[in-house]
Structure 1
Amino acid sequence: MLTKSTASRITATGVYLTGFGLFFSYAFFATSMYNDYLPPRFELIVLALVLPLLLGKILAFDHYQLGQWLLILTGLALIAVVARTSGRYILLAVYLLVIGARRVSFERIAQTALLVGLATFVLIFASSLLGLIPNLRFMRAGTYRNSFGIQYPTDFAAHVLYLLLTYAAVKKGRFQWYDWLIGVVAAWFVQVYSDARLDTILIGILLVLLLGYQLIRHGKRLAIWLSWISIGAMPLGAALSLGLSYFYDPKVKWLADLNHLLSSRLQLGREAFNRYDPKWLGQVVQVNGWGGTEGFKKFTGQIAQSQYFFIDSSYLTVLLSFGIIVAVILLGGYVWFMWREVRQRDYLLPLLIAVTAISCIIDQHLLDLSYNIFLLALLADTESFALPATAWKRGIS
């Protein structure tokens, strides 16, 4: 028989997952070419459905002290100001999804994201093969890069990477032979059909870290090293991304070679610093990429092409678009979370987040929940990911 508190928690979880599922399905769908067929400002309709659910969960089920309420409201006010200055009002939903995840099992969140994400991904992929939506094909160095219904090939590859990360979370890192095969085939596919070299490397890194996690599960001392590396992954990734972009000089050979390897990302990062100074509360940052219908027309010369300018680095995007305060809070929050998880013998989530930290050097998905659901783990219930203390002690004795 369920107690009153248990029944309330189940109800709170259901309300939250309903709101998250609606938001995630829309956000994922909006990264596809189906976005061209959605009504203008359709996201406002989605927010009108999602925000009351999230607010209802927070107000009805989450019990905070006065000081905690003041902190939450201060954060909400900060995000509202940043959303206005940056023109990215979707930040309000992201903030409430993070706050609302309190006491909700991250395992349940990951399961919901995997189910909804895979269903949406298959629908988009099949629609592009059937000609219901375009499969944009970009040419680079004589090789076609397919987007398979997503708005850009690297975004398609990023979806594959983040779905694999979510899959690893759902499996709790306990991979069987067929799970490794799925990862290898995914890496091969995005390399051959989308020419997404960096995301292919990231999938390889994910598989290597998951191999390391198998050793951790058996109590090997390698866990200590992997744990410390994972804790510093996010600030290290930010330092590398921002530092290399800021100090980029094409006259320095190793920087020029690295810029070429990273598909001109350092050059574009330096250009971003030339155009915009970091602000405390963010600003509107105008970009001109090749994704989607309009971007593809520019790429193929069907319409007049303005200068290409796109910020791929998540760290640079957050700093310039959302401001210094949000960037510092976000990095601090991730370091605190990963330190806490390691102390609680959860070594899997920090390792998975370490992969997203590397990804954020080359992709702009740190605050994009249609890709990166691990942001929601910061306040969610992650107890089910902790290794048993008894088994751990037996393994290292």
Structure 2
Amino acid sequence: MKEKLIRFVNTDLNSWLFYISYSVYLFVSIINTSYFVVNYQFAIGTQLLTFSILLLMCKEIINTPRSTNEKLGVLLGFAFLLVINFTIGDVVTDQVTWIIAFIICARDIDYEKVVRLTIVISSIMLAVVVFSSLFGVIENHYDSYVARPRHWVGFRYASFGPTLLFNISALVVYIRKEKLGKLELLILIPANVALFIMTDSRLPFYLTLLVMAFAYISEYRTIPADKMKPLWLAMVASPLIFGGICLWMGYHYDANIPRWSQLNDTLSGRLRLEHTSLLTRGIKWWPRAFPMSTAGGVFNPGYNFIDSLYILVLQEYGIIFSILFMAIVIYGLWKMYKRGEYYLLFVSTGYTLYAIIDQLILGINYNTFWLALGVALFATEHDKDFLTANTRHIPISEIESIIGRAPSVPGRRTSGQTASQRAAVQRTPMTANRTSRPAGLSRTSDTQAAEIARLLQQKRQNSGSPSAKTTNRNSRRYRRH
């Protein structure tokens, strides 16, 4: 009974607190970007976000950090939140607050379950908002510009819905990988085309097609992943590359030069706004309140909204915070590359490209891959698969010593050779085509991890040594039933 209670507190309760908090955040953040908050009163949004933060705090009280990198990460994140609170002064609704909070709290959560939960909630909310606008329940605002007429399909701006759908599409591609089938394509492609026609939001639509093309090419390509090292390293450095390009163009923009003027028109006036903001408001060392106005639209002289995420973070959160933030993102991408998570690395690079001309992906509701970054940051060298919480903090020597002695199960191959082959495939998931995989590699990682955890528990109970008991206490909270 005591074992079951400890397991519930350290695993089930820990996960459920996170899932409930994350679901509340998704609901509030999506509904706040729709006309439901304009046509109908939604006054409890801030209270729900506060409740979500309290749930995360309860999770962290139960799930106290053990390893050194966890303690340092929690301490650094808490310091960032204090700086934001005393400079910008809006912690509950600030988007970077939620990135820091969820990066810390998702470090021991099964990321694939978070992905599936996000797909379900985001798809339902997107469908409710879009169809409510089409049937007249809420306003479907229409921009009647001759050059670019756009429907807002129930959201407070035309690009909100397509960006949300891009996040859903990227998550589906990631979770399915080489198994992306016709059913997913028959649902995602028409939905993206329909929103593209109604909203004329080009960047989310083009990036969705790019991500799907990458998944299709990866399934049938013959070039081994280790031969594409320059491409992966370029993806790791993509935030620094794209951020440097944005800053350089923002400073060097000159309306009197035809090529600059033409590029500014292509980017819907973004270059002019970034250039003006950099010259008038400058860059500070520390975060500051950074009010922006969208009143009257782009053609209003008082309009000063910055679309580029790189320049927005640099101006609002300051040089020191931006350098640390950039270093953390690049380090997380580097760990994805070292673990062979090439799908995750590519999709994350798509978001860094998106950030050049739009800052929506700063919100977790538009970019769920922030959570994958958090899991990657806290993964240790002993973690074979840092995107699942099954075998985290179990020493790799114990796993390798016992995996070869796993008892045979009818219909399954559990030899050490098969386990080694499976580990090799998991480390380089794109080096082989689907048709060339051995039949014995079809066991799921959850089943294998559960079997390893059961054998480890039995081994530790039989040993009774102090070191074994200590290891058992440290890893019990990360194991499944």
TM-score band w.r.t. shorter chain: 0.7 to 0.9
Match of 1:346 among 337, 341, 350: 341
Q: 1:243 deviation in Å?
A: 1.6
**CA gap 1:83/1:317 in 2 versus in 1, 3 angstroms:** farther
Q: 1:155 deviation in Å?
A: 1.9
The question of 1:76 aligning with 2:78 is answered yes
| Residue of structure 2 equivalent to 1:292 | none
Q: Which string of whole-angstrom CA distances, capped at 9 and with x for unpartnered residues, describes residues 78-119 of structure 1?
A: 322224423442343432221101111111111111111111
Partner SS for 1:171: helix
Alignment of 1:331-370 (within 5 A): 331-370=326-365
Q: 1:47 deviation in Å?
A: 2.7
**Structure 1 CA distance, aligned partners of 2:356 and 2:79?**
29
Q: Which string of whole-angstrom CA distances, capped at 9 and with x for unpartnered residues, describes residues 339-385 of structure 1?
A: 11111111111111011001111111242112111111122278376
| Residue of structure 2 equivalent to 1:242 | 247
**Structure 2 CA distance, aligned partners of 1:157 and 1:331?**
26
Q: Which string of whole-angstrom CA distances, capped at 9 and with x for unpartnered residues, describes residues 40-73 of structure 1?
A: 5x44301331112101111211333578546523
Range 242-251 or range 215-224, more displaced: 215-224
Range 95-104 or range 164-173, more displaced: 164-173
Partner SS for 1:153: coil
Asked if the contact 1:20–1:50 (Cα under 8 Å) also holds between the matched residues in 2, the reply is yes
Q: Which string of whole-angstrom CA distances, capped at 9 and with x for unpartnered residues, describes residues 281-336 of structure 1?
A: 222222222xxxxx5xx3599xxx66222111111111111222222222111211
| Residue of structure 2 equivalent to 1:211 | 216
The question of 1:125 aligning with 2:130 is answered yes
Partner SS for 2:291: coil
Number of aligned residue pairs: 386
Asked if the contact 1:31–1:150 (Cα under 8 Å) also holds between the matched residues in 2, the reply is yes
**Structure 2 CA distance, aligned partners of 1:50 and 1:365?**
21
**Structure 1 CA distance, aligned partners of 2:179 and 2:230?**
20
Q: 1:120 deviation in Å?
A: 0.7
Give the letter aligned to residue 320 of structure 2: I
**CA gap 1:174/1:244 in 2 versus in 1, 3 angstroms:** farther
| Residue of structure 1 equivalent to 2:18 | 16
TM-score by length of 1: 0.87
* Higher RCO, 1 vs 2 (CA within 8 Å, ≥6 residues apart): 1
**CA gap 1:109/1:313 in 2 versus in 1, 3 angstroms:** same
Q: 1:121 deviation in Å?
A: 0.7
Give the letter aligned to residue 390 of structure 1: A
**Structure 2 CA distance, aligned partners of 1:224 and 1:150?**
41
Partner SS for 2:139: coil
Give the letter aligned to residue 336 of structure 1: Y
**Structure 2 CA distance, aligned partners of 1:225 and 1:180?**
30
Asked if the contact 1:82–1:323 (Cα under 8 Å) also holds between the matched residues in 2, the reply is no
**Structure 2 CA distance, aligned partners of 1:108 and 1:218?**
31
Please tell me whether Structure 1 or Structure 2 has the larger radius of gyration of its CA atoms. Answer: 2
Partner SS for 2:360: coil
**CA gap 1:384/1:220 in 2 versus in 1, 3 angstroms:** same
Alignment of 1:22-171 (within 5 A): 22-36=24-38, 37-40=40-43, 42-64=44-66, 68-69=70-71, 72-89=74-91, 90-91=93-94, 92-171=97-176
**CA gap 1:64/1:76 in 2 versus in 1, 3 angstroms:** same
Match of 2:277 among 251, 272, 278: 272
**CA gap 1:44/1:395 in 2 versus in 1, 3 angstroms:** closer
| Residue of structure 2 equivalent to 1:282 | 287
CA RMSD, 1 decimal: 3.0
Match of 1:371 among 362, 366, 371: 366
**Structure 2 CA distance, aligned partners of 1:220 and 1:146?**
42
Match of 2:193 among 176, 188, 192: 188
Asked if the contact 1:283–1:323 (Cα under 8 Å) also holds between the matched residues in 2, the reply is yes
Q: Which string of whole-angstrom CA distances, capped at 9 and with x for unpartnered residues, describes residues 170-203 of structure 1?
A: 3245311333344433442233211122332222
**Structure 1 CA distance, aligned partners of 2:100 and 2:318?**
15
Q: 1:280 deviation in Å?
A: 2.1
TM-score by length of 2: 0.72
Q: Give % identity.
A: 20
**Structure 1 CA distance, aligned partners of 2:15 and 2:178?**
24
**Structure 2 CA distance, aligned partners of 1:324 and 1:38?**
38
**Structure 2 CA distance, aligned partners of 1:182 and 1:252?**
45
Match of 2:424 among 390, 393, 397: 390
Asked if the contact 1:248–1:267 (Cα under 8 Å) also holds between the matched residues in 2, the reply is yes
Partner SS for 1:380: helix
**Structure 1 CA distance, aligned partners of 2:70 and 2:340?**
27
**Structure 1 CA distance, aligned partners of 2:125 and 2:26?**
10
The question of 1:200 aligning with 2:233 is answered no
**Structure 2 CA distance, aligned partners of 1:307 and 1:197?**
26
Give the letter aligned to residue 13 of structure 2: T
| Residue of structure 2 equivalent to 1:320 | 315
**Structure 2 CA distance, aligned partners of 1:230 and 1:4?**
44
Asked if the contact 2:14–2:59 (Cα under 8 Å) also holds between the matched residues in 1, the reply is yes
